[in-house]
Structure 1
């Protein structure tokens, strides 16, 4: 019990708790957006289940390079375009941005539009290109 009464130890405990929280924050934040997939899992969803790829980057970034058969739907326009992305709301949707940081907002918008299976590509377009997967310009 003396361990917790010592002020030096309390400071160490506080530092450990805060650093643990900061390490866990990205996982907590990512968990609120929805499911995430890596490039291999995304490729399987596209090939095996005909997943629809929705690129939420602006038109200029989309023109620089995008996944084959990706649909451009900038994040600002997504709520208005969500209904026309796939015929069946059960079709898997893969949301892609440049680095994977903004895809959580798009996932929430698509879930609200009624899509049941929405994924975000971990690392976004950058991870796709780094993996050496095809890009259309």
Structure 2
């Protein structure tokens, strides 16, 4: 039991370290699903789900807005450029692409949810 506690503690420290050190100074910050859940419970946030419509309709986080990456180039988002935007997809790949796209458009506070819906469903 003691070894398990030590291993779990090390994993938590490593995870926090990864989040801190992979946070970019360029306006895109990686967060985990536990942080997202906390913010959903305690703040009113804008969460974009960049999966395709059929994926979104198959199950999504309550309050998430579907904005598929495939059409995000043609879509003008109705959010202020300095408003925090949280982005999630299935595994984290498309959300990273969407985060870079939004950054290129001038959004300054972007949170990319690492692990995506896979991690969300496993929490």
Do Structure 1 and Structure 2 share a fold, with TM-score over 0.5?
Answer: yes
Structure 1: distance between partners of 2:84 and 2:23 = 19
Root-mean-square deviation (CA, aligned residues, Å) is 2.4
Cα distance change on mapping 1:94 and 1:100 into 2, 3 Å = same
Match of 1:51 in 2: 45
1:79-94 correspondence to structure 2 within 5 Å:
79-84=73-78, 86=79, 88-94=80-86
Q: Contact 1:50–1:91 (CA<8 Å) still a contact in 2?
A: no
Structure with max Cα Rg: 1
| Structure that is richer in helix per residue | 1
Q: Take 2:117 and 2:27, find their aligned partners in 1: how far apart are those partners?
A: 18
- Structure 2 gaps of 5+ residues are 1-21
Number of the residue aligned with 1:96: 88
User: Are residue 120 (structure 1) and residue 112 (structure 2) matched?
Assistant: yes
SS in 1 for 2:74: helix
**Structure 1: runs of 5 or more not aligned:** 1-28, 132-137
Q: Tell me if structure 1 keeps the 8 A contact 2:27–2:110.
A: no
Map of 1:4 onto structure 2:
none
> Does the residue aligned with 2:73 lie in a helix, a strand or coil?
helix
Q: TM-score, normalised by structure 1?
A: 0.64
